[in-house]
Amino acid sequence: MLSQDSHVADELLLMELEGELSPRVAKSVRTHIEACWRCRARRQELERSIADFIHLHQRELDGQLPPAAGPRAMLKARLAQLPVSAPERPWQWFVGWGRLVRVAAVSVSVLLAIGWIVNRAGAWKRSASPERLVSTPDSTLTPGATVLASRRDVCSQANIKNRDVPASTQLLVFEEYGIERAPRRAYEVDYLVTPALGGSDDIRNLWPQPYSSVWNARVKDALEDRLREMVCSGTLDLAQAQHEIASNWIEAYKRYFHTDHPLAEHR
Amino acid sequence: MSAPAKLEVLVAPADSLDSGIRESLEDEVVRLFDQLRERLLRYIVAIGLTIPDGEEVIQETFLSLFKHLQSGRSRDNLQGWLFRVAHNLALKRCQRARRSSELLASAAAGTYAAIDPSPSPEDQFANSQAQQRLLAVIQALPEQDRRCLFLRAEGLRYREIAAVLDISLGAVSLSLSRSLTRMARAAQG
């Protein structure tokens, strides 16, 4: 998986050291390290940093912590003072409380049921268009990240072609999204906020975008070009463009191209 | 006179049942306290609390654990749960202290190095230059990077750290590698 020409990124070296990689990726990294002196030395440096840090950490803190006996006795006394309350059993409060509470409970149940039905209806609607679910990144893993760049910086870039994402970073992204083996060929690791709009190389700005989806990378490129034109012509604020693309690029496309589906020339 | 007797009979079994459950829950909480108190305390002191404040946060954390278990909520990864609660309580306490202008020396410095503000000359001598450099690097790290480092030092796995700090797994690995890279650079002088 890793060629001998490229070196393993520090994150990946560390994750291998820490046992945080899947067996397959770990094996690939180890095979590279065996053949690469530079990566092996780097790995040892990271290991040495861990050892140095932990020695310092222990020296700074261990002697300062008071013994546990006093706080332990205090906790036991405070636990004993806590009022008795049985585990929450739904039927108990339903039976024990007054009529008013029962009426309120029934109302809440009805509201919850309606809420559930509405929610399910939304979910069914969403599941009818699965490409939408995979075409936008998981916002907790890929919230989007930008570099400090002004409108002038962005608009003066001569080459707006995206830089290739290094193989080791791609592995990290796949790892983070739990995408294993074969299906990886079906994805391109793409920038959420394109560097042409000030997006950064940070992993928080990268996600595996499927090739096959209706809302694919080409459609997103068209949106990026449109937003960049607007930013550089002064009709859209750079921060606003970055926010729109990071929060939901499909919605942004629909808004800026006035359509619910990708236009034929963008597919 | 018969009514109180009847009441006693009705109440006694329920009480004895509750006290049995309660006792075993108390034992479980104290057992977890024995296992994790030192690691939790070291972490929250490292991120800026004084030791007395840290001890109080630990007490609150384990009292919350008792209520959590008593209400029958999830027992999945209680270690992660305890670190998350202790972390949040510690941050609240730091913020309160800052708001009321009672700045804690360590919280203001944002580092555990401030615990011992006046090391003896012998200690100062013993601290090698490399350790001083390392300390300076740790002090200069962004807050989130220091938290990742301290949680990892307490044995938490990346997923647990991500859950405690409410960040992504990728952000944890990036943060740790960034910090260690800086330390490696400092070690080389």
Residue ranges of the alpha helices (H) in chain B?
Answer: 2-46, 51-70, 78-99, 105-109, 121-126, 129-140, 143-153, 158-165, 169-187
Say how far apart CA A200 and CA A157 lie, in whole Å: 14
Residue numbers in B near A189 (CB within 8 A): none
Q: List chain B residues with CB under 8 Å of A92.
A: none
- B71 and A CB contact within 8 Å: yes
Q: What pLDDT does A205 receive? A: 81
Question: Which residue does chain A place closest to B174, by CA atoms?
Answer: A11
Average pLDDT over residues B170-184: 94
Q: pTM of the full predicted structure?
A: 0.57
> CB of A15 within 8 Å of any CB in chain B?
yes
- Distance (Å) from the alpha carbon of A49 to chain B's nearest alpha carbon: 5
- Inform me whether the C-beta atom of residue B104 falls under 8 Å from chain A C-beta atoms: no
**B126 interface with A at CB cutoff 8 Å:** no
Q: What are the tens digits of pLDDT across the range A27-86?
A: 999 999 999 999 999 999 999 999 999 988 888 887 788 899 999 999 999 998 887 665
Q: A21, A56, A93: which to substitute to probe chain B, counting the most B Cβ within 10 Å?
A: A56
Q: Given CB atoms, is A38 within the 8 Å cutoff of chain B?
A: no
- Contact predicate B117/B148, CB 8 Å: no
Which of A182, A190, A201, A200 shows the shortest CA–CA distance to A223?
Answer: A190
**Residue A66: DSSP 8-state:** P
ipTM of this complex > 0.90? no
What's the whole-number average pLDDT of chain A?
A: 76
pLDDT tens string for chain A (267 positions)? 555 557 899 999 999 999 999 999 999 999 999 999 999 999 999 999 999 999 888 888 877 888 999 999 999 999 988 876 655 444 444 444 444 444 454 455 445 545 544 454 444 333 333 333 457 787 767 777 777 677 888 888 877 777 778 777 787 787 777 776 556 667 788 888 888 888 887 777 888 887 777 888 888 888 988 898 888 988 888 888 888 888 888 889 888 888 888 888 887
Is the pLDDT assigned to residue B8 strictly greater than 50? no
Would you say residue B159 has pLDDT above 50? Answer: yes
Q: How far apart are CA A123 and CA A138, in angstroms?
A: 17
Q: What does the pLDDT look like over A105-115, one tens digit per residue?
A: 445 544 554 55
Please give the pLDDT value at position A132.
Answer: 39
**Helices of type H across chain A:** 10-17, 23-35, 37-61, 69-81, 90-96, 99-127, 130-135, 151-155, 167-177, 217-232, 238-257
Instruction: Check residue A194 and give its pLDDT.
Output: 87
| Residue B68 scores a pLDDT above 90 | yes
Which residue, among A142, A147, A170, has the nearest Cα to A157 in the 3D structure? A147
Q: How far apart are CA B161 and CA B79, in angstroms?
A: 11
A50 touches chain B (CB under 8 A): yes
Check residue A212 and report its DSSP letter: S
DSSP helix/strand/coil, A227: helix
Q: Which of A74, A79, A88 to mutate to test the interface with B (most CBs of B within 10 A)?
A: A79
What mean pLDDT value characterizes chain B? 80
- pLDDT higher than 70, residue B6: no
Residue A90's pLDDT is what? 45
Chain A, window 183-212: residues with a beta carbon less than 8 angstroms from a chain B beta carbon: 202-204
pLDDT, tens digit (0-9, with 9 covering 90-100), for B97-156: 776 654 444 444 444 544 444 555 555 554 677 788 888 999 999 999 999 999 999 999
Segment B21-26 mean pLDDT: 86
The token duo for B125 is 């001598």
Distance CA B148, CA B159 (A): 11
Sign of the Cα pseudo-torsion (B114, B116, B119, B124, in order): negative
- The encoded tokens of residue A169 equal 């970073």
